[in-house]
Amino acid sequence: MFGTKQKKKAAWVQSALERYERPLLQYAMSIVGEIERARDVVQETFMRLHNQEQENIEGHLSQWLFTVCRNCALKSLKKEDRYIYVEAQEFETKRCEGLTPLMELERKERVDRLMELVKELPKNQYEVVRLRFHHHHSYQEISEITGLSVGNVGFLLNAAMRNLRGKMDRDEKDEKIVYLKKGVA
């Protein structure tokens, strides 16, 4: 009886590992900034999962994992008294059908610029944007992961979107002005 329970738990943890290891590694990397340290954080997260009762986590596994991962990452940084946010990788980009090479290049440049602007967001906006759009968490899940209220999560996301939209609009206006100046000369 005891062996069957252990086997079920091992299978459950293995399934969670296969599904969430990469997203958690990316998330941890965005907080700690070093791949080896991020791996340690994710390993600690899954060790804690192994020590939990499955019944207590069922139904909110993703939120639980991201919350524990975040807390482990922050604890890791606190040990060295530093708090650094680094973009681990760009958000995944998908090639759209029917685009010309020029359109594809322009789209890639816009995505690259947007990723640069995301990195410049204040830390709290950066974190909720990553959790929402990179890891696809709901406002409620982000609230549980970060400890912020759902309303605050919505406010931060809205502020981040306005911030990014304004900067992208300014970039576009600046680009048009440069083109006009070239034509005048």
Q: What is the pLDDT of residues 28-87, one digit of tens each?
A: 988 888 898 899 999 999 989 988 888 888 888 899 999 999 999 988 887 765 444 444
Local confidence band at 177 (pLDDT 50, 70, 90 cut-offs): low
**Secondary structure class of 33 (helix, strand, coil):** coil
11, 65, 102, 131 from 91: Cα distances, Å: 30, 20, 21, 11
Q: What does the alpha-carbon distance between residue 41 and residue 55 come to, in Å, rounded to a whole number?
A: 24
